[in-house]
Amino acid sequence: MLLRSKHSRILCTAAVLLSSAAITTPTLALDTTAALAQASSAQAQKKLKLKLALGRFTNETVYGKSLLRDQDLDPLGKQAADILSTYLIQSGKFMVFERPDLVKIQREQNVSGQAADSNLIGADTLILGSVVEFGRTTDGKRGLFNKKKIQRAHAKVAIRLVDVKTGHVFHSATGQGEANTETSTVLGMGSSSKYNATLSDKVLSLAIEDVIEELINTLSGRTWKTDILKVSDKTVFISGGKTQGLQVGDKLTVMKAGETIQSGQTGFNIALPPEKVGELEVVSLFGDSELNEGAVTRLTTGTLENGRPEGLFVTTPQ
């Protein structure tokens, strides 16, 4: 009986172990499938950095025209442009190039012996803007034993996004901000202040903050494109590299631009939908700055003529 009991316990233990193994195996398979799906989703959602050219803001307010002017436009417009540039760069989604001081850049290139515009990078989108409202007010209340002073500032900015190739304004947005400071005294005790210049800084920053999310979402929805530098059999060299977010292993698509036909109704040139002609995989990256970056890719599907084919561009899979 004792032997039979031990034999029964051994059989039960073996059965439990086999059952556990049978349950564990599908779990590993599910984990692997989930990991592959996550990696595929990450590749599909990958967004490469667009190139933005930031133009100088103009100041359309009376305040700026009467007080804040210098030979290189106005400080109020400069400040708004600098704040916008900072927010766009901090988002990590774009390559931002300064265009407001283009005259200064050209002047410096001439001094250094370089050809004007020889190293300037073409952008996908031009950002233009203006400060359309700006004002300050000071209110006060005086009582028998107390005195109160309130300084307020208000600003409104208008920003336009322009397609560099066509000159078409494809999006416009406005943002506004308000800021105030308050001081009070009782029986001569308390805080007092004169003109608070920091209100101008705060209110411009708030106006840009009010519109920056809308701008980033609109720009992020634009399609990233680049050109083919050279085709050598199955090896394809393209513009764009690490700075724009390209990585080894990325999948790209080669497209043939659609025919451009002028519309008899509107008079505008309309490009027909592009056609997919091949697929690429990034093999390596080269270049040490955004001025000379590129990528070596391998043609995985389709055929391309050697040299530098016309009418083709590279984009991310849609």
Average pLDDT of the segment spanning 155-160: 94
C-alpha distances in Å from residue 94, one per residue of 48, 81, 91, 151, 245? 8, 16, 7, 37, 10
Give the chain's domains with CATH numbers.
Answer: 50-133+156-178+194-220 (3.40.50.10610), 225-315 (2.40.10.410)
Average pLDDT of the chain to the nearest whole number = 78
Q: Name the pairing type of β-strands 312-315 and 235-239.
A: unpaired
Mean pLDDT lowest among 29-38, 242-251, 279-288:
29-38
Contacts with 42 (C-beta within 8 Å, 6 or more apart), sequence order: none
User: What is the pTM (predicted TM-score) of this model?
Assistant: 0.70
237 and 306 Cβ atoms separated by less than 8 Å: no
For 272-287, what is the mean pLDDT? 95
Q: What is the pLDDT of residue 307?
A: 93
Confidence (pLDDT) at 42: 43
Is the predicted pLDDT of residue 223 greater than 50, yes or no? yes
More confident residue, 131 or 181: 131
- CB half-sphere exposure, 41, CA atoms < 13 A: 6
Q: Which residues share a beta bridge with 73?
A: 70
Pairing of strands 269-271, 260-262: antiparallel
Which helix (DSSP H) or strand (DSSP E) does residue 112 occupy? helix 102-112
pLDDT at 103: 57
Amino acid 271: pLDDT: 86
